């Protein structure tokens, strides 16, 4: 089985933090590619070890990623 998941990666200090909002799992790395690869590994480990009911409950919600333009000042 394959899942399409969202990865949000942002710079934090000297590295990058990668988050999968559907499962609330995060990882980090010194580059964008490393953070992405580390998140993928963390997600694969989650699917290998988590009980099936936990996987279902975390994947149950919808996630929308969008941009907002906010006027300031």
DSSP string, 2-59: ------EEEEETTEEEEEETTTTEEEEESSHHHHHHHHHHHHHHHHHHS-HHHHHHHH
Structural domain total, the chain: 1
Nearest to 31 by CA among 6, 12, 4, 5: 12
Provide the whole-model pTM. Answer: 0.85
Inside any domain, residue 71 = no
Q: What is the CATH number of the domain that holds 26?
A: 3.30.160
- Inside any domain, residue 70: no
Asked if residue 1 has pLDDT above 80, the reply is no
- Write the pLDDT tens digit of every residue in 17-53: 999 999 999 999 999 999 999 999 999 999 999 999 9
Q: Which domain holds residue 18?
A: 8-59
Q: Tell me the C-alpha distance between 3 and 7, whole Å.
A: 12
């Amino acid at each position: 089985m394959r899942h399409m998941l969202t990865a949000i990666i942002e710079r934090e200090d000297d590295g990058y933090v990668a988050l999968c909002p559907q499962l609330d799992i995060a990882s980090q790395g010194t580059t964008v590619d490393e953070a992405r690869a580390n998140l993928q590994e963390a997600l694969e480990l989650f699917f290998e070890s988590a009980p099936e009911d936990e996987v279902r409950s975390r994947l149950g919600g919808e996630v929308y990623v969008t941009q907002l333009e906010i006027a300031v000042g």
